[in-house]
Amino acid sequence: MKKNRSQVVYQESPLDQLREFAEAKVNRHKGDASSQAVDEHKDKLLDGLLSAGFDEKSCLSRYQSVLYRRPSPHKPSSYLQSRLRKYEDLHKQCGPYTESYNKTVEKLKSGHHLWTLYSGPTECNYIVWIASSGLGNKLLTVASAFLYALLTNRVLLVDRGKDMGDLFCEPFPEMSWLLPLDFPLNQFNKFERRSPESYGNMLKTNAISNTMNSLPPFLYLHLNHDYDDQDKRFLCDQDQSLLQKIPWLITRSNEYFVPSLFLISSFEQELSNLFPSKVTVFHHLGRYLFHPSNAVWGLITRYYEAYLANADERVGIQIRTFEHGTPPFQHVMDQIVACFLKEKILPEVDPSQEPILTASGNRKSKAVLITSLHSGYFDKIRNMYWEKPTVTGETIGVYQPSHEELQQTENNFHDRKAWAEMYLLSLTDVLITSSWSTFGYVAQSLAGLKPWILYRPENHTAPDPPCHRIVSMEPCFHAPPSLDCRAKTRIDNGALVPHIRHCEDVSVGLKLVEVGKF
């Protein structure tokens, strides 16, 4: 196991000791709460986003997050609050092993491949999310599927994969969001782009249409980046009436497809009511859905208390490179330093090494949290501020929780640390993130911050300028459709409405923006 770069929170130890340490009792934020309960003056329900009544011990993070995060200036609409409460009622009525759930599952078990329309609408309809890709992608796609569930009155059930149940608390009261292990279609590895059950392939073969008297009880929606024009019909307005007749939608995606939902005219009014500020979708849904499990919350709070809590300002730097070769790369290091110096996020150092004569009690401190698969960038930035004083007299502490060297998708303890680091980044005051990184998207949106994003280098050269402040905290939809659903011609979906534009880091991507600020 790699030694932790901060040298205190994790020591060189056997894996079983590290697991035991991760499960240890969560420390509380100094001065903000007693050991028994969250300070009653803190808004633990996040302006009505969360519902009361959960057992707080079963999920410490749900109501303790307010102790570590400054209040969000972005308030959920009263309509979003009411819809979330209605959804919770629906989930309780239709969740796993309820009478309604059992009825619809029986149709799948009995091998009924067609669903007779004349039998009337089903009481409960579902969208099942299949675990796919890395952790950042998972969070973005669960939020996308949940928004679709809200828009279409469906119940979201998530495939637990290797560790979804271990990383996150249950978000809905009294009923699990995890798909039961005995679900009859749980051989999800068979579902892919060429599957005959996919919506795209059924359209190609004319096996499904709105005029049919009988429809299948389930459809597979292939929404990965490699989907074709027929798969993309899921994001067409005229297909929604057909999809509404299908009790079970099974979806696999590695894309944040929320921006395209805003281009479906039948959803337009509902989305406007839910999100009067369109750039807050993941900020609100992410804080509602994704509460770290107690084991992960322990990692987060212990690290925060040890290294970040006492600083006057916290700066997060998330580094993800797509370069070939062995890191650290000097041009990437040059780019990172150029960004935080140019934007005055961190101070310059004095090459003369003369100490700044400032009373220690008056010195401002900044804690820099670096997340990267590699340790080299941390070493260089830490040494930069250790070996020379800053010209401002500020003290700079540089910390990196882990360096795994390689991304280990669905490795349980790797994902625990990845989720903890993502969340820690979201507790900072200023963010620098990397282009194309879903890890960075999640952190910025949970934080409610518009980070400086590092442009992707070309030809092993640091770009000039090195970074750019993005206009919206919303994640980017990397591979959106470019098809006019009715005319069946290519179209620039980034030029149709003022609140959807192309992303700063992915030129073909789409993101929600504040009107007039792009």
Range of the domain at 184: 78-276
Write down which residue in 225, 244, 276 finishes a domain.
276
Residue 119 lies in a domain: yes
Quick one: which of 332, 367, 339, 371 has its CA closest to 470?
339
Boundary residue ending a domain (216, 249, 276): 276
In sequence order, what are the beta bridge partners of 229? Answer: none
Question: Same domain, yes or no, for 460 and 405?
Answer: yes
Strand ranges of the sheet holding 467-469, from the earlier edge strand across to the other edge: 395-399, 365-371, 313-318, 430-434, 452-454, 467-469
Does the pLDDT at position 119 exceed 50? no
Residue 191 sits at the vertex; the CA angle it makes with 185 and 193, to the nearest 5 degrees, is 155
**Number of domains, the chain:** 2
Long-range own/partner contacts, residues 406-413 (CB < 8 A, 24 or more apart): 406/373, 407/134, 407/373, 409/133, 409/134, 409/135, 410/131, 410/161, 410/162, 410/163, 411/162, 412/162, 412/163, 412/166, 413/15, 413/18, 413/19, 413/22
8 Å CB contact between 288 and 50: yes
Classify 413 as helix, strand or coil: helix
The answer to whether residues 96 and 241 belong to one domain is yes
- Is the pLDDT assigned to residue 25 strictly greater than 90? no
Q: What is the mean pLDDT of the chain?
A: 88
Same structural domain, 251 and 149:
yes
Asked whether residue 411 is domain-assigned, the answer is yes
Residue 226 shares a structural domain with residue 317: no
Tokens found for residue 171: 């978000």
Whether 396 contacts 347, CB under 8 Å: yes
Q: How confident is the model at residue 131 (pLDDT cuts 50, 70, 90)?
A: confident
Q: Are 376 and 327 in contact (CB under 8 A)?
A: yes
Q: Are residues 271 and 304 in the same domain?
A: no
- Record the tokens describing residue 22, joined without a space: 């991760």
Using the 3D structure, point to which of 439, 456, 473 is the last residue of a domain. Answer: 473
For residue 370, how far is the Cα from the chain centroid?
Answer: 18
Q: What is the pLDDT of residues 356-403, one digit of tens each?
A: 666 566 689 999 999 999 999 999 999 999 999 999 999 999 999 987
Query: Could you write out the DSSP letters of every residue in 128-191?
Result: EEEP-S-HHHHHHHHHHHHHHHHHHT-EEEE--TTTHHHHB---STTS--BPPTT-TT--GGG-
Instruction: Please give the residue that has the higher pLDDT: either 460 or 311.
Output: 311
Average pLDDT over residues 233-250: 96
- In 84-142, beta strands by DSSP E: 115-116, 126-130
333 with 300, same domain?
A: yes
The predicted model gives 239-246 an average pLDDT of 95
Do residue 123 and residue 205 come from a single domain?
A: yes
In a domain, 370, yes or no: yes
How many residues make up the chain in this entry? 518
Residue 233 lies in a domain: yes
Q: What percent of the chain has pLDDT over 70?
A: 86
- What pLDDT was estimated at residue 109? 80
Does one domain contain both 252 and 340? no
Q: 29-43, 101-115, 182-196, 443-457 — which is least confidently predicted?
A: 29-43
pLDDT in tens, 486-498: 888 899 999 999 9
Within-domain flag for 27: no
The pLDDT, as a whole number, for residue 330 is: 94
Tell me, yes or no, whether 369 and 427 share the same domain.
Answer: yes
In angstroms, the CA 154 to CA 151 distance is 8
Q: Is residue 62 part of a domain?
A: no
> Residue 409: its pLDDT value, please?
59
Do 308 and 456 lie in one domain? The reply is yes
Q: What is the pLDDT of residue 211?
A: 86
CB 263 within 8 A of CB 500: yes
Average the pLDDT over 412-422 and give the result: 92
Give the per-residue pLDDT at 329.
93
Q: What is the pLDDT of residue 2?
A: 40
Question: Domain with 328 in it: what CATH number?
Answer: 3.40.50.11350
Say yes or no: 340 and 465 in one domain. yes
Amino acid at 16: D
User: What's the confidence (pLDDT) of residue 174?
Assistant: 95
CA-closest candidate to residue 154, choices 226, 73, 247: 247
Whether 309 maps to a domain, the answer reads yes
* Residue 28 in tokens: 């509380």
Distance CA 212, CA 192 (A): 25
Note the helical H segments in 294-343.
294-303, 330-342
Q: Is the pLDDT of residue 27 over 80?
A: no
**Residue 439, pLDDT above cutoff 90:** yes
Cβ–Cβ under 8 Å, residues 507 and 438: no
Tokens of 411: 């490795």
387 and 259 share one domain: no
- Residue range 138-160, pLDDT digits in tens: 999 999 999 999 999 999 999 99
Neighbouring CB atoms inside 10 A of 275's CB total 23
- 22 domain residue, yes or no: no
